[in-house]
Amino acid sequence: MLVFALASVMLKKRPGLRMPLHQSLCLHSLTGAVLFGLCAGWQGTLAPPLTMSFALGIGWLVLFATFGAYGIYYSSLRLFPVARVSAVIYLSPPVTMLWGWALFGEPLTATMVAGLAVTLAGVMLTMRG
């Protein structure tokens, strides 16, 4: 989230720093790989489990999270105000919650639904200006 916040502010305040989308994604991914690699090495081993489930999970993350979500994020920063783009980021936890419920049968509680409603209301207020 710190990288997103810094990228948002830097891209809007200094248009000369803009670079092609593929370069932004590359820098973001490399930064994440170094930081998470350091954390993984500190916690144990860097060797991933060699299973089909792990490979499918990594494929999903690379295609949808990296190329899809980050690509949309950086493209949105070029088209919309930072406040709007940042507000939409707050929808990530509720969307993840709903995916967990729909795909894996995770239970939804009243507190979770209330949190979803508050988040949606906040995003709608931000979008209306």
Amino acid at 76: S
- Between 30 and 109, the more confident residue is 109
Q: In this prediction, what percent of the chain has a pLDDT beyond 90?
A: 22
pLDDT at 107 over 90: yes
Q: And the tokens for 9?
A: 């502010």
- pLDDT at residue 77, rounded to an integer: 78
pLDDT at 102 over 90: yes
pLDDT band at 3 (very low <50, low <70, confident <90, very high): low
- pLDDT at residue 110, rounded to an integer: 94
Mean pLDDT value of segment 54-77 = 83
DSSP sequence for the chain? -HHHHHHHHHHHH-GGG---HHHHHHHHHHHHHHHHHHHHHHHS-SPPP--HHHHHHHHHIIIIIIIIIIHHHHHHHHHS-HHHHHHHHTTHHHHHHHHHHHHH-----HHHHHHHHHHHHHHHHHHH-
Write down the mean pLDDT value for the chain. Answer: 83
- pLDDT at residue 17, rounded to an integer: 65
- pLDDT at residue 106, rounded to an integer: 92
- pLDDT at residue 52, rounded to an integer: 93
pLDDT at 11 over 70: no
